[in-house]
Structure 1
Amino acid sequence: MQKHISNVHVHMPYSLLPKYLKIILQNKLNLEIYFHHQILNRLDKSRCMETAKILESEGLKITFHAPFVDLRPGALDETIRRASIDRIRQVFDLAPYFHPLKIVCHASFDDRYYVYGDDLWLESSLKTWKEFIGLADDHRTIIALENVYEKNPVILGKLFRSLASDRICFCFDTGHFNVFSCEPLNVWFDELGRYTGHLHLHDNFGWQDEH
């Protein structure tokens, strides 16, 4: 069992780390640490550094989950796009403390919002993620772009082909696929299988985003 656990990262909001730290250390749990925007607003970086040192001393592997609430990294409005970049960048600024293997981010395409705007969204998204690819290279980490509201994998396929970087991969979220996708699993992996480098597994009964 421990062999399998060593390959899994447990999702853990940063705010809950102090509460569960003893259990994490006892069970040698690798973590995917989620930094909510409210946490980033009041983050104590000295305490953050101390926590990172404890996890590192136990040999635990870390990934990050970047904030996503209200963020639109593919926004057509340049002011909104830059605000989204500034917020996500705060997580990259913590990479020197934790040395995350990957940083999970939401691509955030939603055809209910970007009506007839696929190409414009793609153009804006490319500018955003090319900027972050440079940061990922500096920190020797990999960006994992996660599916959420995408009904099919086509637009994400275009994004990954255009980026063509070893510093970015696809994070396949099984629950989001189960709720929001209009296409079967084989269509997703035909399009994005070659880019898949991260997987989210969680409880979801297919009716709503329950995790």
Structure 2
Amino acid sequence: MPRININLSHQIVKKFGLAEVDDFGTSPEFYFASSVNLPKNSAFANSMKSEVEKYSFRPTLHAPFMHLNLGSESKEIAETTRKELQWAIDTAAFLRADIIVVHPGYTALPEKKTIEHTGWLDNALPNLDFIAKYSEDKGIKLAFENIFDRDPFSLLLIKEAIGTSNIGFCFDTGHYNIFAPLDMQDWLEALDGHIYEFHVHDNDSTGDQHLPIGEGNIDFTSLQNYLVSKEISELPVVTFENKTLDFVKQSLSRIREWEFLKT
């Protein structure tokens, strides 16, 4: 059985706590929109750490991403991005999260073009090198997520450009369904061996609706087959990115019908 996490904003955690996450038999993926949402040594930060320890969670963390871009041509934006990701790495270490999901920051690319063609990769390299080494020193993996990507090649270029071994990917099923013409199986084969996490949610391909599994038009067969093919030690984290806890319950119910959870 894969490790199953639930993506939760800091607002949800503040309002409901983490007891229900434990009731589900899952762990949290903490998402903070900004470093200001979790001041260092705050009562909220300390209470979250206490709950992680209380329930023996194995959390992951989703880094801030709004208005951030590792390869921005604006020095101010690039510097702010580096600082926010450094904060995310420190926060992950504090909360004992072993994986951080990162949005690279590049926008939709022209067909058959990669971040190498647009200059984004050259701009991003100083930031990429810094966060890769900083996270490696703390024993934390960075999982770069597909957002607007039509194919996996720009993500692979990021890994190729960084010399550390803690760089991998988070494959997001919803983003794939909206933007990528390639079959899911082609994506999984290309990223195989370096997928640290899956973001699992559904949509009807017209928008990022974060629906429960089975409520959109995504064919999850390739994902199921991929997970079945892996040894327990090789399984990526499966994280539900649903809008509500009720949606999470529906997704949990449906994923438990998948073949790999019956064995």
Are the counterparts in 2 of residues 49 and 97 from structure 1 also a CA contact under 8 Å? no
Q: What is the TM-score normalised by the length of structure 1?
A: 0.86
Q: Separation in 2 of the partners of 1:201 and 1:107? A: 19
1:108 aligned to which of 101, 105, 109: 105
Residues 141-160 of structure 1 mapped to structure 2, 5 A cutoff: 141-160=140-159
Q: Describe the superposition over 1:153-191 as per-residue Cα deviations: whole angstroms up to 9, x where unpaired.
A: 121122212224321111100110000112222332343
Residues 119-138 of structure 1 mapped to structure 2, 5 A cutoff: 119=116, 120-138=119-137
Residue type matched to 2:82 in 1?
I
Structure 1 unaligned blocks of 5 or more: none
Aligned partner of 1:14 in structure 2 is: 10
How far the C-alpha of 1:117 sits from its partner, in A, is: 7.9
Are the counterparts in 2 of residues 151 and 182 from structure 1 also a CA contact under 8 Å? yes
Q: Separation in 2 of the partners of 1:8 and 1:117? A: 32
Q: What is the TM-score normalised by the length of structure 2?
A: 0.70
Q: Separation in 2 of the partners of 1:41 and 1:169? A: 27
Structure 2 unaligned blocks of 5 or more: 211-263
Identity %: 23
The alignment covers a number of residue pairs equal to 204
Instruction: Name which of structure 1's ranges 64-73 and 118-127 shifts more when overlaid on structure 2.
Output: 118-127
Q: Separation in 1 of the partners of 2:15 and 2:135? A: 30
Q: Separation in 2 of the partners of 1:150 and 1:87? A: 23
Are the counterparts in 2 of residues 13 and 34 from structure 1 also a CA contact under 8 Å? yes
Residue type matched to 2:11 in 1?
S
Are the counterparts in 1 of residues 89 and 140 from structure 2 also a CA contact under 8 Å? no
Residue type matched to 2:16 in 1?
Y
Residue type matched to 1:187 in 2?
D
Residue type matched to 1:173 in 2?
D
**Higher RCO (CA 8 Å, separation ≥ 6 residues):** 2
Q: CA RMSD in A?
A: 2.2
